[in-house]
Structure 1
Amino acid sequence: MILMSNFASSFVDFDIPNWFASEHLAGMLRGIEKEGLRVKPDGYLAQTPHPAKLGSKLTHPYITTDYSESLLELITDPKSSPKETLTMLRQLHLLVYQGMPEDELMWPLSMPCMLSSNDEDIPLADYGSSNTGKLKTLYRSGLGVRYGRRMQTIAGLHYNLSFGDNLFTAWQAQTPTAQAMTLTEFKNDKYLGLIRNFKRLTSLVLYLLGASPSVCPCFVSGIEHDLELFNNSTYYKPTATSLRMGKLGYTNSVQEHLDIRYNNLPEYIKGLRRAIQTPHESFEKLGLDDENGNPIQINNHILQIENEYYSPIRPKQIAMSGESPTEALERRGIAYVEFRAIDLDPYSDIGIRLSSACFLEVMALYCLLSDSPELMPEEEEALAINIERVVNEGRRENLQILNNGVEQSLESWMLMHLNRMQPLAALLDAHYGGNDYRAAVALMQGKAGHSESTISAQVNSDSKRLGSLWQLGFTLAQQHRESLLQQTLSPNTQAKYEVLAEKSILQQAEMEEAETEDFMNFLQQYR
């Protein structure tokens, strides 16, 4: 049992600050990054190159690839309402289906199916012959030699969110201790408070939005695991929520003891840089190059680059050309926060529903405005225990989690927080009009009290009904393709995207043309 006295209590009797009103929500922006595997009609990973019609994955602002040539990543602009963001995400999905080979599908589940037993059959994303492009491919090669390529085919969704400066200026004016701070310092402080509180509530997100309670046998072949076979074509845990976020999924034992803290920005940056500069024994053994002298990883350090650090939430700043993520944060502070603990919603043709987007925004506001004491390693350990419990058995009746060091039922803990979020949902609805935010919180309250209405429960029951997880994924992928291809873009929008794709191909060609430095020299300097 962890003693209560070790933690500063967070979320104590939340009240909306008296200075805060719905007009302070003006200037909120949100964007989405959504991954999805391209698969062939037999469900195996597509081996075709990134569709030429979609432009250059190196330079296209909205359509690129993540780890594999087959793993699409769609990125929206920051938008001023959730509906606008989802509209743009839908446009990008439609473009992908217009540009993909006719028989290919976008896999709707976070966990892949029908992977070949040979790692080399998962093609690395190829970004062309420029040094920037080659470095991106080398980074992915490093991930593959470190953790295996299979893990890198897991897909997820990132929800990026920022609040307007008017909120922070009003807040700073009400905070006597903040008068000596610059606005950037004040924002950094408040965004990090949001991040710490989101980490405290990650279990809530995994229960409500988790959609990966099961995997196909190909994903666990040759791996030690404790999953049950529910038929010969699907492994699962009966009450799991998000295996993607557990030990089986996109986690990293090497990173478990990094002690990267979120209590102030210099400390966070220092922790991240330390991991990028510190060699790791097991990665040293792999070597930097293969027997022919070709590089196989950028370096042998704990992290090759910042992006390798896996966390359910990250502070972000837009990096300029040639600037690393930590340099951007150091120079200009936190611009937005990236929520990363989100499984693809297989029942949505774009991977996320409006209700989920609205809920994440209410929760973000709740995390921002609640007290957020420092988050120390001991509390992080308790939170990691909670995540493991909720990942593996979040829907088990009377499941207990640790709250400020004391065991509490998951259901009562979730309902307590969701009830406190209701007034914030009302303020968001007052600002945007309609009742999307209140409806989202009410929906989540229903799920918190009835585990059979969660997405993870639905995935299990539909997989049983259809015979396997693969059959469910395949059925939904076909339905989504049909519904998306029935939609059309306005001629203006279609033309705009076509011009963008052509321009991106020219940009990549120019970069490659202008490249004079030998890649090995470039890499030596980078190392």
Structure 2
Amino acid sequence: MVNSDCTSTLSLIDSELATTLTDIVRGVEKEGLRVTTDNHVAQDHHPTALGSTLTHPSITTDYSEALLEFITPTSTKVQDTVDYLERLHKLTLENLDEQVIWPVSMPCRLDGDKSIPIADYGTSNVGTLKHVYRQGLGVRYGRIMQSIAGIHYNFSLPDQFWPLYRSKMQADKRTVGSSVQDFKSAQYFSLIRNFRRYSWILHYLFGASPVLDKSFLNGRSHQLQEIQKDTLGLPYATSLRMSDLGYQNTAQQGLHVSYSSLEEYVTTLGEAMHQSYPPYDEIGIKVDGQYRQLNANVLQIENEYYSDIRPKRVTRSGEKPIAALRDRGVEYIEVRILDINPFVPIGISASQMRFLDAYLLYCLFSQCPEVSNTGCPEIRGNQREVILRGRDPSLTLTRNNQQVPFKEAAQELLEAVMGTAKLLDQANQTNEYSESVRQQQAKVVDSHLTPSGQMMDELNQGTDFVELARHQADRFKDYFDALPRDPKFDVEHAEMAQQSLAKQAELEASDTQSFDDFLAEYNAS
């Protein structure tokens, strides 16, 4: 479903500009719970052999001590990213004894908030800040919501692309901004706006959380159906992780963070970070000598804003992300809506990465007018419909107040993405990008090919969600066990682990400021 008001700059991409697309930079952040033999969240500390979660560049934790997060280095080769993730999984599993890495986004069996331990980053001021921030998430939204896992896909175009693309846009009499960096930031924000307009297609193609274990609800009201004895879901859902049952946040529903420009984004997000919220005041910041949250604002820090895509910039030591964006502009974007695929050992395939590259390029090359306030409900409505019943044969989406059959809208959009896929094929002398789009087109024809459809087919045969997830976790553990060793990787990461532990100890020994003073300065900055 392509917006008729949009124009494409694809025709401006000549051979010189296309050549730069071989250097698209990507990276993946993949989360996964450590789970015990009885399918509960692991309660022990992060394995020391894996290093410090505060300072290790590749293996850390997210909200919970048990919620692993793997971070790949940036790479211009898709297969390098896949190989690195496989190595991280193999290395980690070798240090988990009988535990497994949960291979789905929705968690294992839970026993309320108390069953989800908050991540511990040591006693340094920086480590304490990370822990208190997570403590704040727990008291604001409950720990259960924070047990959900996902995949973040980081994407950027190479530096040499931007001045060439800017000159093409300028020659075509399009607005280009006052500098290459200003142009780059403006174009990334255009990509983000289009991503939000069309992200329903990603929920359909890659959503993999149509169900959840009953224990996740912890007494909350819901409108889910019983799929199996301990499994609740919706028959045509794609991603309950992205529904109100997953990342829900009443306080943030009133926020309006603008994606019109970098300046407006920084301003509106900054306002939310300094806007007090009475219910959080009632929780208290420091009670009986213990911190409950960093502050009582709508957002403790900018990362608390639950967006589906973010503009990003690598920060300097001690620098806040929002300040880095304000001062030096957008460097890359982070896609945050991807479920873990339970049918792929590392949760994301090389084909999916190639499709994402083609899709994100399509979003960049589509020059669309900004969405009006009246258009936002249409975008959110389409997302919600696909999240809750994306595989429903009767589903329609809304375009300019008109109803369009889902399959027609999806096929139209994927045909448009095929254009950028063929451009990437040409640049990389391959057919893998167009093949990745064809694989997605097949999912539109047959919804059983989607990850959510595959899951429902398994569950409808009498399997419970936890049983299915555990079966896949055990299969993947065997898969990683069978992978040949990479001695160089193992030695490098053993050294990395020791260096990270030494760096954490150094941070803890060098702190001269009380955490009270440290936090006061942080909140005031």
Alpha-carbon distance in structure 2 between the residues aligned to 1:170 and 1:182: 13
Q: How many residues are paired up? A: 517
Shift of 1:257: 2.2
> Over residues 453-501 of structure 1, what are the superposed CA-to-partner deviations in whole Å (9 max), with x where a residue is unaligned?
2110111111233520000000000000010011133222211111111
**Partner Cα distance (1:466, 1:96) in 2:** 32
Distance across 2 between alignment mates of 1:409 and 1:161? 31
The corresponding residue for 1:148 is 142
Residue 206, structure 1, aligned to residue 203, structure 2: yes
Q: Tell me how far apart the structure 2 counterparts of residues 460 and 511 of structure 1 sit (CA, whole Å).
A: 48
Once the two structures are overlaid, the 10-residue window that deviates more, 324-333 or 251-260, is 251-260
Query: Aligned to 1:249, which of 246, 251, 267?
Result: 246
| Partner residue in 2 for 1:265 | 262
Task: Name the TM-score, length of structure 1 as normaliser.
Answer: 0.95
Match of 1:192 among 184, 189, 193: 189
Percent of aligned positions that are identical = 38
The residue identity in structure 1 corresponding to 2:135 is: S
Question: What is the SS of the residue equivalent to 1:33?
Answer: strand
1:488-524 deviation per Cα after TM superposition (whole angstroms, max 9, x unaligned): 3322221111111110000000000111211122223
2:26–2:75 Cα contact (<8 Å) kept: yes
Q: Which amino acid aligns with 2:414?
A: L
| Corresponding residue of 1:310 | 306
Structure 2: distance between partners of 1:210 and 1:19: 32
Q: CA deviation at 1:294?
A: 0.9
Query: Could you tell me which residue of structure 2 aligns to residue 216 of structure 1?
Result: 213
Please tell me whether the aligned partners of residues 402 and 408 of structure 1 are also in contact (alpha carbons under 8 angstroms): yes
Amino acid at match of 1:282: P
Matches within 5 A, 1:369-384: 369-384=365-380
Distance 2:459 2:3 in 1: 41
Deviating more after overlay: 422-431 vs 389-398: 422-431
**1:172 Cα deviation after fit:** 1.1
Deviation larger for 172-181 or 313-322: 172-181
Single out whichever of 254-263 and 500-509 deviates more from structure 2. 254-263
SS of residue matched to 1:31: strand
| CA–CA separation in structure 1 for the residues paired with 2:351 and 2:463 | 29
Give distance in 2, aligned partners of 1:252 and 1:413. Answer: 30
Q: Please identify, of 391-400 and 203-212, the stretch whose mean Cα deviation from structure 2 is larger.
A: 391-400
User: What's 1:413 paired with?
Assistant: 409
Q: How far apart are 1:34 and its partner, in Å?
A: 0.3
Instruction: Give the C-alpha shift of residue 175 in structure 1.
Output: 2.6
- Alignment RMSD, CA only? 1.5
Aligned equivalent of 2:425, options 429, 445, 448? 429
1:164 maps to 158
Unaligned runs of 5+ in 2: none
Alignment match, 2:435:
439
| Aligned counterparts of 2:140 and 2:318: Cα–Cα separation in 1 | 26
Aligned partners of 1:35 and 1:489: how far apart in 2?
A: 23
Contact 2:55 2:504 in 1 (8 A): yes
What secondary structure does 2:425 align onto? Answer: helix
* 1:505 is aligned to 2:512: no
How far does residue 181 in structure 1 lie from its aligned partner after superposition?
Answer: 1.5
Q: SS where residue 377 of structure 1 aligns?
A: coil
Q: Distance in 1 between matches of 2:519 and 2:168?
A: 50
- Which AA in structure 2 matches 1:275? A
CA deviation after TM superposition for structure 1 residue 195, in Å: 0.4
Deviation at 1:204, TM superposition (A): 0.4
Q: Which amino acid is 2:202 matched to?
A: V
Deviation at 1:178, TM superposition (A): 4.5
Q: Secondary structure at the match of 2:160?
A: helix
1:283-294 equivalences in 2 (<5 Å): 283-290=280-287, 292-294=288-290
Shift of 1:369: 0.4
Q: 1:474 aligns with which of 456, 463, 470?
A: 470
Judged with a 3 Å threshold, the aligned counterparts in structure 2 of structure 1 residues 324 and 180 are, in CA distance, closer, same or farther, namely: closer
Q: Structure 1 residue 9: deviation in Å? A: 4.6
1:26 matched to 2:3? no
Q: What secondary structure sits across from 1:323 in the alignment? A: coil
The corresponding residue for 1:120 is 114
For the 8 Å contact 1:349–1:480, the answer to whether it is kept is yes
The reply on whether 1:110 has 2:78 as its aligned counterpart is no
Instruction: Return the alpha-carbon distance in structure 2 between the equivalents of residues 10 and 185 of structure 1.
Output: 27
Match of 1:404 in 2: 400
